[in-house]
Structure 1
């Protein structure tokens, strides 16, 4: 490409630039930069063989620039259309917002009504929960089972002994055993109350599986259990008690990787005609005290004053 041809193209660019600037009332630096970028693109699009004819080259430059300018204008038109569309949406949004603003008190009232309804439903739910809790507590009070160990509870023992004593004389021998876990407080203090609960369930399961179907197991309170042995002699009562002690002694409870060695002490007595519930319990407690004082992990008996 000849030097004169290049000069001619530059002059043409200069001419087009001046015309472009004159065409705008307030031309900006950005417009000049855009023109120069478009002119560069136009020159780059010309083929080398077309540049031999100077006049034709000028015409091609002008046409090429106008095509680029046309594309720029089209792009601007599209952008402008998009902005107009956005402006329309904005205006419609403002109108909608205005309409909402005009209805704000009504909307606020709706929300207030909804909030009141929600509070009302929450109050109803709380009332139902309170009623259910009361019913559950009442059921637990009236239940004959201990919630933790699933053996009979103290309430059931009281009812059983009252019925037994109200009969007066019975035609068979009946023994009552009070069992107390040795050093239960040490277990709770060392391993925690959850471990203590595990021990109580462990003992209850052993007692249930060891005794006959006709015998009864009660959780008397805390770490104490009561067993009613029906239709057995004093000698068999001793045998059953020692078997219970041996099974508990020989079984270990594993809790969180630690082996818990559990033993129990037993106090036993035989029902005597004319006994009241507190009488038979008091004798068994006295026998239990002997077992504790004598070294624990053993069974002692206490007979009624009349020798039965």
Structure 2
């Protein structure tokens, strides 16, 4: 750590001076209170316990010192409230003067008390205790403190030499007290550095918080800062308020649960934050209100704010992108006429279905072909032919179960995949045949809808390709179609 205190900007020097002096005023106040509480005991010793054997001058000086220090402490307490709460230019100079005078008087009391002790026991304990105590409790600016200590120490050495003592004893006392003065100056210097750093750190922290609030205000994306321990929202920008529709309530009353898809995801994300410090680009759906949800990409960042562990959450609304993605996916995988899976997607679905089939599972592939579609196109036009295809797709879909699906294979061809046995699938087609008969009887249309089909029952583990399965079902379909044409 560098011994040089961090620089204080010129514009902050006055603020630092006020902050530091107010801190010293607080210290001096409690020093004065404690001294006033202890002086009754000192007076009891001065007037009642000290016997007549003590020199008269010793008692007189000690009583005068105690009375003077008590008066200084009492006067300070009377002035304290006015000194603390009125920072005018004149008042500030007064505060500065009071602190300096207070320090100087107590340093002087150290010299006088220790000089006075030479008349009784010859020790310098009072000087050491008071000087070190002042350095710890009232650490004024180091240069000024060094000046006060130097002047006071010269005075003390003069008083010490004025006493009639052995030269070796005087030399020992001189060395001890001089070392004490040097140590006191060093203590004040260290403390002043610490207080300077504390002020600079607080200033930087305050500036960082102000910058953070500005970034929150101007950021074009929703931003939320919440406390990690209890989920309380501490900061939220305008975009986030709009996104979560929080204008009707105070954000302080809203829990940070709104920032997570669900409670289990919240626990998972918080654990990841504690472990790695961030969760990047998580795509999920958030319930932004009781009736609506939005697709979002969220970044979570562990963040310390005002000394507390917090979570900074940045949100990007990707609902429109998801809609476009859905439309693109639908366009790539869905037949635009019938709105069922197209050939490419359907073949992939069939491959996946076969891969997931195990021993004991049933799987039947059905090749369905609309009868007489070309005739309808030629006679009534392609618009009616398209209507016929859509109607056939609707009828086929109506009999599918939860484990079944179909896709359009070609112009008039559909593939149906049943998670059933061949016998169960034949029963489905019997019901479909009845449905088609009812449709043809009830509907007023220029054509009669009928569908030929062929089945292939897949045995799990059978070495056969999807293409061959469809060809076998197609072959069976043509047998059924020939029967239809004979009618």
**TM-score, structure 2 as length reference:** 0.30
Q: Which of structures 1 and 2 has the bigger CA Rg?
A: 1
Higher-RCO chain (CA-CA 8 Å, sequence separation at least 6) = 1
